[in-house]
Amino acid sequence: MTSPRTILVFQHDASLRILETTVTAIIPFNALEESSRVLFKDASEEHHVIVTEKTIFHPQGGGQPSDTGVLKGPSGTFTVTAVRTDANGQVLHLGLFENSSSAFKKGETVEQAIDVERRLLYSRLHTAGHVLGASVRHLLEKEIENFDELKASHFPDSAACEFQGSIDGKWKDSIQNKLDTYVVAKMPVQIEWWDEEDFRSRGLERLIPDRSLVPAGEKSRVVNIVGAEVYPCGGTHVDTTDLCGPVMVKKISRKQGNSRVSYVVK
């Protein structure tokens, strides 16, 4: 019998910093299935994985790093160092108990608390990446042969958006100017849930996610940067584009016909 998927509370309300939820599993790292162990590169035999009914912790994915923080239960505190999603849709909170006697019990209530500063940084970076992608698309979609947006990384030390087509370095200042315009415009960043007809009615068929990625009967989560672009996305974001803070285009690099535009937030 497959365990139920973890309810991703942060996808519906990313403003929550604390949440009470129920422990559904406590697993020593070495007892995890191999497919789950490989998700964590720096874990040791001292680590455990906690699964809860709901979570406000964003698992690493979609180019965004995972949240960190703590789980507090009746018997002690569990420090969360990394979060991933397994093949069954369960969110795995990896970390360490404060001491050997502080282990949780299945079925007990714990309080989740995320690292707020880290969440804000990751939300700024993720939104900034979408704003950068929108800036490049609006500026160069008709200028660059075979243009398309490919993928992005929103990690603090390697934030970048990748595009199909060769973007010359001469476009850097124009991209920066377009980006600045979108940031200072305080565009609303809205979380919406769309079905396939919602994409088609807006002429955005190119954004319809692979059906295998959307559970039957559910809609796709999209981030609508009002006045700029829409992106299917499961990540966390700031509420308006100005909250990204200053976003700087670092450089444009090209390889095998594709281009990479790296950026930082100040």
CATH label of the domain that carries residue 12: 2.40.30.130
Taking a C-beta distance cutoff of 8 angstroms, is the pair 247, 154 a contact? no
- Domain boundary among the residues 95, 114, 133 is at 114
Q: What pLDDT, on the 0 to 100 scale, is given for residue 21?
A: 98
Q: How far apart are CA 116 and CA 3, in angstroms?
A: 29
Taking 50 as the pLDDT cut, the residues of the chain under it are 1
Specify whether 161 is located in the same domain as 255. yes
Specify whether 127 is located in the same domain as 97. no
Specify whether 257 is located in the same domain as 125. yes
Specify whether 33 is located in the same domain as 105. yes
pLDDT tens digits, 181-225: 999 999 999 999 999 999 999 999 999 988 777 777 889 999 999
Residue 259 lies inside a defined structural domain of this protein: yes
Taking a C-beta distance cutoff of 8 angstroms, is the pair 179, 217 a contact? no
DSSP designation for 46: T
Q: Tell me the CATH number at 167.
A: 3.30.980.10
Q: What pLDDT, on the 0 to 100 scale, is given for residue 107?
A: 96
Tokens 């880290």 belong to 118
Mean pLDDT for the chain overall? 95
Residue 49 lies inside a defined structural domain of this protein: yes
- Strand extents, DSSP E, 115-257: 148-153, 160-164, 189-194, 220-225, 229-232, 247-255
Specify whether 71 is located in the same domain as 95. yes
Q: How far apart are CA 60 and CA 66, in angstroms?
A: 4
- Domain tally, the chain: 2
Specify whether 110 is located in the same domain as 135. no
Q: What pLDDT, on the 0 to 100 scale, is given for residue 97?
A: 96
- Domain boundary among the residues 83, 114, 145 is at 114
Q: Domain of residue 126: give its range.
A: 119-265
Q: How far apart are CA 245 and CA 265, in angstroms?
A: 7
pTM, to two decimals: 0.94
- Domain boundary among the residues 114, 135, 164 is at 114
Residue 201 lies inside a defined structural domain of this protein: yes
Specify whether 124 is located in the same domain as 202. yes
- In sequence order, what DSSP letters do the residues of 195-207 get, joined into one string? -HHHHHHTT-GGG
